[in-house]
Structure 1
């Protein structure tokens, strides 16, 4: 066993600081992996995924707000578009930069208290979480920003607890502020970390200091502009609340979302837990190379506090729908705690087996992404050119406003950047004065009139416009027999 030195480091860490080989190897492998992911996305090409397409509609320059998503991702994507154009490379670059930063910043944060080997092995455990290894690479955007800001917040908090210096508390505040404009569920992380730290004497001593107050001050200054925009535009900012399917009836004893909440936790935790169990068996006779540091308890208690808080929230709010990725702020601290404790005692054979498992998963991710590109009905495989040709044949006036969902609208904007295209978010067209409107919808239910969509997006002339006959088109996929039906409706203001 080793003991903590006065500055909070272990003896093993002091020795480890003199040997940067593990750190260099970690960053080399990390960088090569995400460079390869960017290359794969460019090679596979095809249509844009829904979240990728969203960026082409929701980046009209720098604004305090763009809709239901917080603006940080949009700001960075706007900057990359300015440099590289509205290209697939710019889209893939930002996504993978954020995933790279997620691992890099967590590693840097863990290095405040543990050796590089343990920090690297613990950080790589995030790759065992399906929504990080697979979904974050395949589809998501703002969730990637959430992951990066969570890691930045953890890093700032751990280094603040280790040193107590102004600069580290300021960095913690900066990370909190950026996370606060990345994704709404981000706030669970700083709240959980602070509550957990208050229960640990070594952490509480650092936390209860005047210097720590600079962190919330900086965070509030960063989020002020976007949050004031949200307050002034609640119809746009809250237009996605319906995803949670909050019940308006009397609360049920067992909310429908409770089982989804528990299932989501299981889905995210099952692979990290199974791998950890195998590694523990392989290393059960191994002695830990360092004493268990209190930072392990910090992560463990953070995850437990957030899991309980989430359960209570789902119960009280009677949430009807939950997506597993919403639970990432709960799962990350639990997985980090598990692998911090485990990594200190891994045998050489277990370590090699663990790294081999991660390498195999990486290969499977590359293979899966390649197969996902060409499978029957894949979103990236849809051919939008027949729709483009159909719209061109309609000979609409040049100032016609096109309204479509993110997937259809963003892919049209990629092909025809000169067309004026808006998303079908509620109230999204309320400030538009275009007298010509073309509505596109994938909803094929006849009872859902497209003229209702014009009213929902807030087109000023929706209720008094003349609408032509509805048209339909079935878009083909490049591979496979499936088609994607679409409805089109043209409206003209009176």
Structure 2
């Protein structure tokens, strides 16, 4: 393949991802509406530059703070950061693959990530920290492939920087560098590069980057690990039960992520049968990625087993799909005829249009969270006797939307730091529908000790209910509130 053709295809790839994510950012701003849960979380979990903020690792919060400083605490800062991270994800994967592959194959491998539903849909609709996981995983892959290709001191230092940042993005990020390292050990062309002493630069630099935030986590365990309940760890499992429930959910979670990429790959391969195919092989790269995905599956299963996790979600398995899908399509690329490649790119273009149309529908459908009108919420709270100037505790969705409308109000989510921040005295608890289900459960989630419920220190002063309207329908979202005098912490 001549250099001019590679440059042209690189330019087309860069233009495509840049236009797409610019349009997505504009679409989010045009659709407007209430903040989604993860967006709202950023409005209440970014009080300033800190080593830690809660159960999520701090890198996204740090970047979001910077965007808030540049663009204000509102939707433009949220939408721009999200789409910039997603753009960087595809760019970094392309650059890493391009070190080993022609531009057309590198573009196919990078864009294949768009076939993962959590990247095409959820990453736009809702998620924040998972987007940081993807961006740092992509940076890690690019730096790792650079180190395997060049082996310079700079490439290992860049890899250490990527691993350190990934270690501050999301806990399951570590599946990516560990799995890549294990897979490289099984491949002769890469084993020698990995076993050189200069490779120690990467873990050393990464350790320096994560040291202070991880020290904060150890000093604030109740807050940093407060989301472990999502795993439903079954400490009381029957002695004879060897397989935790979460392990049985692993195949289904992987299928949810991999079904569409596998289907598209099968269609493209079928359309290439009997036709002239590409002659250039992909070298050891597909083997690296696919073996790394297998190692990531084994590591995930071992973690589920060790933790005896009772539940998992497909989102936690993103590192596996992140490795497997580009591995699948770079392995398939030499076997595809021109018709097969064109079909893959055409299907991605159709999917992109469907995603944008779906986001518009999701904004205006009956019961859509973005369609709730929060404008009257501060006034509703002001009408509660004795609630003026009282701190408020609410789940992320409500807390963030309230914070946007009443920036001077003391607001905290149902996390353990709330009790330490507000201490003894009146606190207004808000409950969206049945989240959380009761004052007693909410008080424990907010950091007051169990057993401080009714009759054990909490004095209910006022309680009631109200609802907020939807913009596009006659339905209303129900809320409950309890104004309570809370006991002092031990």
The TM-score normalised by the length of structure 1 is: 0.93
Aligned to 1:381: 371
Equivalent in the alignment of 1:165: 152
Name the SS for the 1:60 alignment partner: coil
Select between 286-295 and 264-273 the one with higher mean Cα deviation: 286-295
For residues 188-267 of structure 1, the aligned pairs below 5 Å read 188-250=175-237, 252-267=241-256
For structure 1, the residue ranges without an aligned partner over 5 or more in a row are 1-11
C-alpha deviations, 1:242-268, integer Å up to 9, x for none?
Answer: 101111123624432233211110010
**Cα offset, 1:318, TM superposition:** 2.5
SS at match of 1:20: helix
Q: 1:452 to 1:268 in 2, by over 3 A?
A: closer
Residue 453 (structure 1) aligns with: 442
Map 1:294-373 to 2 at 5 A: 294-373=284-363
Counterpart CA distance in 1 for 2:447 and 2:268 is 56
How does 1:33-112 map onto structure 2 within 5 Å? 33-112=20-99
Q: Residue 210 of structure 1: CA displacement?
A: 1.4
Whether 1:476 and 2:463 are equivalent positions in the alignment is no
1:440 alignment partner in structure 2: 430
1:382–1:478 CA contact under 8 A, matched in 2: yes
1:392 aligns with 2:382: yes
Per-residue Cα deviation, 1:347-388 (whole angstroms, up to 9, x for no partner): 222222111111100000000000000011101011223432
**Root mean square deviation, CA, Å:** 2.0
Residues 44-53 or 478-487, more deviating:
478-487
Distance 1:245 1:209 in 2: 42
Distance change >3 Å, CA 308–CA 325, structure 1 → 2: same
Conserved? CA contact 1:56–1:413, under 8 Å: yes
Deviation at 1:418, TM superposition (A): 1.3
Secondary structure of the corresponding residue to residue 346 of structure 2? helix
Aligned twin of 1:489:
482
Deviation track 1:464-486 (CA, whole Å, cap 9, x = no partner) reads: 45321311112221123432221
Separation of aligned partners in 2, 1:149 and 1:123? 15
1:316 CA displacement = 3.9
With over 3 angstroms needed to count, the CA separation of the structure-2 counterparts of 1:17 and 1:398, relative to structure 1, is farther
Q: Distance in 1 between matches of 2:327 and 2:441?
A: 50
- In the other structure, the counterpart of 1:25 is 12
Please tell me whether the aligned partners of residues 245 and 321 of structure 1 are also in contact (alpha carbons under 8 angstroms).
Answer: yes
Farther-moved stretch of structure 1 (18-27 vs 94-103): 18-27
Alignment-derived partner of residue 414 in structure 1: 404
Q: Secondary structure at the match of 1:293?
A: coil
- Quick check: 1:73–1:182 contact (8 Å CA) kept in 2? yes
CA distance in 2, matches of 1:157, 1:17: 27
Shift of 1:188: 0.4
Moved more, 376-385 or 170-179: 376-385
Structure 2 Cα separation of the partners of residues 436 and 172 of structure 1: 50
Q: Deviations over 1:323-367 (max 9, x none)?
A: 101101111211111100112332222222111111100000000
Change (3 A) 1:434 1:317: closer
When the two structures are aligned, how many residues end up with a matched partner?
A: 480
3-state SS of paired residue (1:193): helix
Does the Cα contact within 8 Å between 1:193 and 1:302 map onto a contact in 2? Answer: yes
Paired residues of 1:468 and 1:490 also in contact (CA < 8 A) = yes
CA apart distance, 1:434: 7.0
Give the match for residue 127 of structure 1. 114
For residues 271 and 392 of structure 1, what CA distance do their matches in structure 2 show?
A: 49
Please name the residue that 1:151 is paired with.
138
Are 1:185 and 1:326, in contact at CA under 8 Å, matched by a contact in 2? Answer: yes
Partners in 2 of 1:366 and 1:290 — Cα distance? Answer: 35
CA contact (8 A) 1:283 1:347 kept: yes
- Cα 1:456–1:362 change in 2 (3 A) is closer
User: Secondary structure of 1:145's match?
Assistant: helix
Task: Note the C-alpha offset of 1:433.
Answer: 4.5
Q: CA deviation at 1:34?
A: 0.4
State the secondary structure of the residue aligned to 1:410.
Answer: helix
- Aligned partner of residue 321 in structure 1, secondary structure: coil
